[in-house]
Amino acid sequence: MSRVHAPRGLAELLALRADLPGAALMAGGTDLVPRSRARGGLPEDVILLQDVPELHGITSGKGLLRIGAAATHAALLADPRVGRGLPVLARALACLASPAIRNMGSIGGNICTASPAGDTLPPLHVLEARVELAGREGVRELSLAEFILGPGRTALGPGEVLCAVLVPRPEGFSLQHFEKVGLRGAMAIAVVSLAAMLRLDGRGRVAEARLAWGSAGPAVVRCPAAEAALLGRRPTLSALRAAARHARAAVRPIDDLRASAAYRREVAGNLLLRLADLSSR
């Protein structure tokens, strides 16, 4: 049986974190509970994040959205600043698990789980989001690439919590797209996913491309060579095929029960080809 602690504010949370270094933090519990059960049960102490107001809510200002780490996927989808303003993230949230899991699961939990298949991670990479970490020594910010060190591994320090995700408001990206390939239409863990943002110039040529793949390596894969291959070109099938060749060379997928590495590599490139249809609409 675990002892459950429910701090009412960030200061109380950080004090508990310092006093109970072995305690598990729990937001929605949709990752923590099944994973702990598989290992024989929850740790002796569990610290709930639900009642910490500093970890909730979305605020906008200074060109960015500050999303509280404990904000649920459903709350984010219901907020027009995410639902309409960040379509690449909204599309990923809409296909994450099921309505019940989206009502419980949080963006912070998805990030801290650091799964290669975490659905919010590729969109947050192309949005160039940063994470805000708080500890008793103060607050620090890291990029996602700095924060996620590998499957299940993050740069979260022993006394720290993830407080918020800082998302710069994207300017001028006419195409924002997320697509997940899974083994079924819903409740599917990504076999491969792609988040893409394209900014086009007045002549319809790519002025900036941001591409990130999930389930294609130990962490999200960005491919600067694929992005560069699109620059100055219209996003036609032939330009995207050239970018796809770079993507297939850059990804580092594994074989597992859901798919082979070879299949994932092929699909990682193919997902790019969809952008031709989308940008011609």
Contact set with ligand FAD (CB under 6 A): 24-32, 34, 49, 55, 69, 96-97, 101, 104-106, 108-110, 112-113, 118-119, 156, 161-162, 187, 189
Nearest residue (CB) to ligand FAD, 30 versus 176: 30
Nearest distance from C-beta of residue 189 to ligand FAD, angstroms = 6
CA atoms lying within 13 Å on the CB side of residue 101: 19
Dist. CA 109–CA 134, nearest whole Å: 15
Nearest distance from C-beta of residue 35 to ligand FAD, angstroms = 8
Nearest distance from C-beta of residue 172 to ligand FAD, angstroms = 28
Nearest residue (CB) to ligand FAD, 123 versus 269: 123
8 A C-beta contact, residue 195 and residue 212: yes
Nearest residue (CB) to ligand FAD, 112 versus 250: 112
Which whole-number Å values give the CA distances from 187 to 6, 95, 164, in the listed order?
30, 8, 26
Nearest residue (CB) to ligand FAD, 124 versus 244: 124
Nearest distance from C-beta of residue 15 to ligand FAD, angstroms = 15
- Cα 257 from chain centroid (whole Å): 23
Dist. CA 111–CA 68, nearest whole Å: 12
The single-letter DSSP state of residue 54 is G
Nearest distance from C-beta of residue 24 to ligand FAD, angstroms = 5
Nearest residue (CB) to ligand FAD, 248 versus 264: 264
Dist. CA 163–CA 131, nearest whole Å: 8
